[in-house]
Amino acid sequence: MVIGTLAHCIFQRCIADKYCKTMKDVETIAEDVMKSRKIISSLYAMKLSVQEAFGLVEPYLKQINIFLNQHLHRTVPCKPLSFTNGADLVQIAEINDIEENIWCHQLGIKGRIDATVSVVCDKANKSYETMPLELKTGRASHSFEHLGQLALYEMMMELVGHKVSAGLLLYLREGKCSRVVSNRNMRRDLIMLRNEISRFLSTWMIANVADNHTTSREEALLPMKPKLPAPINHERACAKCPYSSVCVALAKREHEIPTNHGFSLIAEEACGHLRNSDIDYFVRWTGLIYLEAQDSAKSHMARNIWSSTPQERFENGSCMIELTLLSPVHAVDEVYFHTFTFDRHSLILDAEQNEGRRDTLLQSCAIFQVGEYVICSTTKRIAVAAGHIISFAGNELVVAFERDLSVNYSGEQFILDQHGFSSRSSVFDLSNLAMLLYNDDAVARYRRIIIDRELPTFSEGILCKSMIPNAKEILKNLNRDQKQAALKAAATESYCLLKGLPGTGKTQTIVGLIRLLSLLGKSVLLTSNTHSAVDNILKRLISFKELSFIRLGALDRIDPSIRSYAEPILAENCTSPEQLNELYGKFQIVAVTCHGTGHALLAQRLFDYCIVDEATQVFQPSIIRPLLRCKKFLLVGDPEQLPPVVKSAKARSLGAAESLFHRLDQEGSFCVLPTQYRMNRVLTKLANDFTYDGKLVCGNDIIANATLKLPNLQTVRRIYEVERWLMKTISNQIDLSAVVVDTGNTHQLNLTHQKLDDRSSNNSDRATKSHMKCTNIMEVALVVYVCKALLKAGVKHESIGIIAPFRAQVDLIRKEILKLSNNEKSSGSETTVHSSHDNVYASDDKTLANDSCAIEVNTVDQYQGKDKKIIIFACTKSFSLFAASEKNCAATTASAAEGEILNDKRRLTVAITRAQEKFILIGDLATLDSSYSTFQKLFSVMNKVSIVHIQDKKDGFEWANVMESLTSLPE
């Protein structure tokens, strides 16, 4: 596979280079290709040296040289190609494109063509024909699969505007190049086959309807079962297939295979080592992954490319238009960096004629993030390339593609669309499940742990006497519980769970454990679900010079403070697998996200320990791969906080939100960190009463009695002297550390005051209704009003955090806080807004955006692992009490809300425990109390004195004043 890829790369480079004509030129290009990061990483993973790889690819180099001389740089006259199919007469006049990308919606097929070439038909008359060239590095079989692939390329190229009547099939190893012409019957059969494959792909897992006569008890418990084509009867082929275990496991839960069938003959070898429980676990999670992928595909933004115009997508905030490609395009290791620019000033001027266009520009800019996968189109053709955003600053953005667009699309205007759904995550998770089927002793051990929930065992006396003084020095800054947890984790013979309650110093404990394991000479794989979680630990490790680590992953996703430890930087000058091996061998600590554990380094290494931070948030199949690369593991997390993100309600109901931490959470498997250093005693009591059943304790009296510092409180009292509700809301009395601001029913007020033309980027009725379901402008006004008072009272901007459950409400609050920021600046004070799009869009132009960070506005999920002095939680929902359409709301909401974010106790727990000194909840108490069981529980344990009921024209509160304060903010 690697040699085939290498031969493809060399061949494409050679035919694209007009000056490559001799064997020496081919060898020079081959040597250059073998120095690319992508290739040497692949060679490292396969344990191949450059010399070995060169020896294996050398026969192909000779054939490449022959091909160049015979078909590309040919000087001997030839007859018109149309007269014959003779391979020796094929003369290529021009290489039009390499890896041409085609998305053909008419056929429902995507394709990337090895090379698009112009072939001489009649040299005298300068007649040329465009053809796809398909390269094969295996034997010249001329199989239906190979011929069919060319036929599909022909059809696709015709539908995007090429005039094509044939294709070229090149078997490089044997130097055979033939002209292939497809016919109507072949094309018809291919489309029928495509449709059949599509049918199975769309429903390859179905709901399991138990049949008492034919289904075992274990099979009846499976929520989904496979529905696949009948397996082929080809024993020899199946015996060699690397996917035989997967295939047999699925077949065991679907088909009754005859005993004389070739499939039955290999079943024992493929799955004889697996128990029924192993196969059921595999099939169960395969079904859950399928459900999640199906649900995610519904929101696939790429479908909008065909169903709406670029202008409509721009107004929806999902694409950027009118982009111009700047020259030159820079190439590094077969990756082409394209710089696009757009005329911001003309777009801003257009706002005078097209009100709201400026907001749309801001929305589009904000929604694109560094590292995001995007689809690039021109105004003439859809999806000419796809790649990742590298940087975004001012009116320029840099995107990396695998092909140079300036070659064929110079001078055109470009469009970038969000891709949204990616199947790569589901493919990764399915691959991990397949790895759990391996016939291997180490994997069998993990099957017992993961599937059977085998309890861990622990060693005694892991430290020899000479190590004890150093170990004491390492652990001296940990409290008693943290020390015990670190020592127990180090002593495990299989695994251990660490329950780190909010603010109890999980990160500090992990750092202590890593230092202790380093003292013991152990290697560590550090991983988590997010880049930020991994980097937060590494930032603590930097100060310990005795520790050396390497951070795997894309450079743009790594925290700037540790990029000097990133593998792309450290391996920048490595030009061979041997150099990579030497580099990687220097590090006992390797850090990477769970989804990054497919890296070549991990393919060649078995670690002593794996530490998974925020393990309760990792989708269960996603954690399998890093664990299989280690002898022992520690899962760190809080089971009372955020679970894995699962979009599919059906998958959640069937158990997809169960993390491995939750699965293994049983007596004897865990240790607990109860002493917290974040919340004061009132907030600690609230968290205990609501979730933790008294387990949380304050670390000391200073933490317990900490209250909000309001240095300008007297000034604020003079400004807001009649607004008693506000003074109670922002009070720094410790008994009022947790406050509920009951807005009353704001449904009708929200309808009245919602300025859709200003607040929404899409004015369509459907978008408007959807927008309003997840926004509440009245609560936005209250949040801004309270924020303004806190800032006037002297609270630092970075001390305030704002949380909302819905992304639309977050965006709306962020927009208004940004206005408040600009207003504060103009009045001489400084307020800045933080979002999850840091450094995505930075500009000196004050008319567009300000991404410097201080007041953070985000969803609950984005706040995991963070804390602020003050947290303001805007609940958003307020149901109409009178509208006919919501007549039965009270009766139906409780059941409907089961899957809603607001009814998730763990999310509300996260929101509460982010606050150090003050928690302000803003919402319609009646709606929340009657519709969501989580809020019923919260209000039942809260001090009634801390609930602030606001009514218009009472206690100094007036909705008119609050709304005027919002609408008066300058744009």
pLDDT, tens digit, 9 for 90 and up, residues 538-555: 999 999 999 999 999 988
The one-letter code for the residue type at 672 is V
Going by the DSSP 8-state scheme, the letter that residue 327 receives in this structure is E
Per-residue pLDDT averaged across 705-729, rounded? 94
Residues 267 and 355 in one domain: no
Q: Residues 6 or more apart from 179 whose CB is under 8 A from it?
A: 81, 85, 87, 90, 131, 166, 167, 168
Residues 165 and 139 in one domain: yes
Question: Residue 891 pLDDT > 80, yes or no?
Answer: no
Asked if residue 671 lies in contact with residue 458, where contact means CB atoms within 8 angstroms, the answer is: no
Quick check: is 362 in a domain?
A: yes
Quick check: is 761 in a domain?
A: yes
Residues 344 and 466 in one domain: no
List pLDDT tens digits, range 597-611: 999 999 889 999 999
List pLDDT tens digits, range 506-517: 999 999 999 999
Q: In the prediction, which pLDDT does 895 show? A: 40
Q: In the prediction, which pLDDT does 211 show? A: 58
List pLDDT tens digits, range 209-261: 765 544 554 555 788 888 888 888 888 888 889 999 999 999 888 767 777 88
Asked if residue 23 lies in contact with residue 61, where contact means CB atoms within 8 angstroms, the answer is: yes
Query: Which residues partner with 374 through β-bridges?
Result: 387, 418
Residues 246 and 367 in one domain: no
User: Given pLDDT bands bounded at 50, 70 and 90, which one contains residue 319?
Assistant: confident
Residues 97 and 234 in one domain: no
Asked if residue 503 lies in contact with residue 681, where contact means CB atoms within 8 angstroms, the answer is: no
Q: In the prediction, which pLDDT does 83 show? A: 38
Task: Please give the mean pLDDT across all residues of the chain.
Answer: 87
Residues 485 and 348 in one domain: no
Question: Which of 644 and 769 is assigned the larger pLDDT?
Answer: 644
Lowest mean pLDDT: which of 305-319, 843-857, 891-905, 943-957? 843-857
Per-residue pLDDT averaged across 358-376, rounded? 69
CATH number at 929 reads 3.40.50.300
Q: In the prediction, which pLDDT does 229 show? A: 87
Quick check: is 440 in a domain?
A: no
Quick check: is 446 in a domain?
A: no
Per-residue pLDDT averaged across 505-529, rounded? 97
Residues 274 and 323 in one domain: no
Q: In the prediction, which pLDDT does 82 show? A: 44
Q: In the prediction, which pLDDT does 540 show? A: 96
Residues 67 and 155 in one domain: yes
Burial of 62-90, coded b for 16+ CB within 10 Å and e otherwise, reads ebbbebbebbbebeeebeebeeeeebebb
Residues 491 and 409 in one domain: no
Helix residue ranges per DSSP H, 2-80: 2-16, 23-33, 37-45, 50-67
List pLDDT tens digits, range 93-110: 999 999 999 999 899 999
Q: In the prediction, which pLDDT does 329 show? A: 93
Question: Residue 165 pLDDT > 50, yes or no?
Answer: yes
The domain boundary, picked from 289, 313, 347, lies at 289
Question: Residue 61 pLDDT > 60, yes or no?
Answer: yes
User: Given pLDDT bands bounded at 50, 70 and 90, which one contains residue 492?
Assistant: very high
List pLDDT tens digits, range 797-846: 999 999 999 988 999 999 899 888 777 666 655 544 555 443 333 333 33
Q: In the prediction, which pLDDT does 892 show? A: 44
Which strand ranges, in their side-by-side order, compose the sheet holding 738-742?
Answer: 833-834, 855-858, 800-803, 868-874, 915-923, 738-742, 947-949
Lowest mean pLDDT: which of 28-42, 373-387, 886-900? 886-900
Q: In the prediction, which pLDDT does 656 show? A: 95
**Could you give the CA distance from residue 780 to residue 751 in angstroms, rounded to a whole number?**
14
Going by the DSSP 8-state scheme, the letter that residue 677 receives in this structure is S
Q: Residues 6 or more apart from 143 whose CB is under 8 A from it?
A: none
List pLDDT tens digits, range 576-592: 999 999 999 999 999 99
Quick check: is 377 in a domain?
A: no
Residues 188 and 260 in one domain: no
Quick check: is 140 in a domain?
A: yes
Quick check: is 474 in a domain?
A: yes
Q: In the prediction, which pLDDT does 26 show? A: 96
The domain boundary, picked from 197, 221, 237, lies at 197
User: Given pLDDT bands bounded at 50, 70 and 90, which one contains residue 890?
Assistant: very low
Q: In the prediction, which pLDDT does 128 show? A: 86
Q: In the prediction, which pLDDT does 482 show? A: 98
Domain count, the chain: 5
Residue-range definition of the domain harbouring residue 239: 203-289
Residues 747 and 613 in one domain: no
Question: Which of 768 and 389 is assigned the larger pLDDT?
Answer: 389
Quick check: is 294 in a domain?
A: no
The answer to whether the peptide bond before residue 328 is cis (omega within 30 degrees of 0) is yes
The one-letter code for the residue type at 730 is I
Question: Residue 54 pLDDT > 80, yes or no?
Answer: yes
User: Given pLDDT bands bounded at 50, 70 and 90, which one contains residue 433?
Assistant: very high
List pLDDT tens digits, range 731-779: 999 999 999 999 999 988 888 876 544 444 444 444 445 555 689 999 9
Question: Residue 900 pLDDT > 70, yes or no?
Answer: yes
Residues 340 and 237 in one domain: no
Question: Residue 442 pLDDT > 90, yes or no?
Answer: yes
The one-letter code for the residue type at 762 is N
The domain boundary, picked from 230, 264, 289, lies at 289
Assign 676 to helix, strand or coil: strand
**Could you give the CA distance from residue 239 to residue 686 in angstroms, rounded to a whole number?**
61
Question: Residue 894 pLDDT > 70, yes or no?
Answer: no
**Could you give the CA distance from residue 67 to residue 89 in angstroms, rounded to a whole number?**
12
Question: Residue 63 pLDDT > 60, yes or no?
Answer: yes
Backbone φ and ψ of 870, nearest 5°: -125, 135
CATH number at 150 reads 3.90.320
Q: In the prediction, which pLDDT does 300 show? A: 67
**Could you give the CA distance from residue 262 to residue 247 in angstroms, rounded to a whole number?**
13
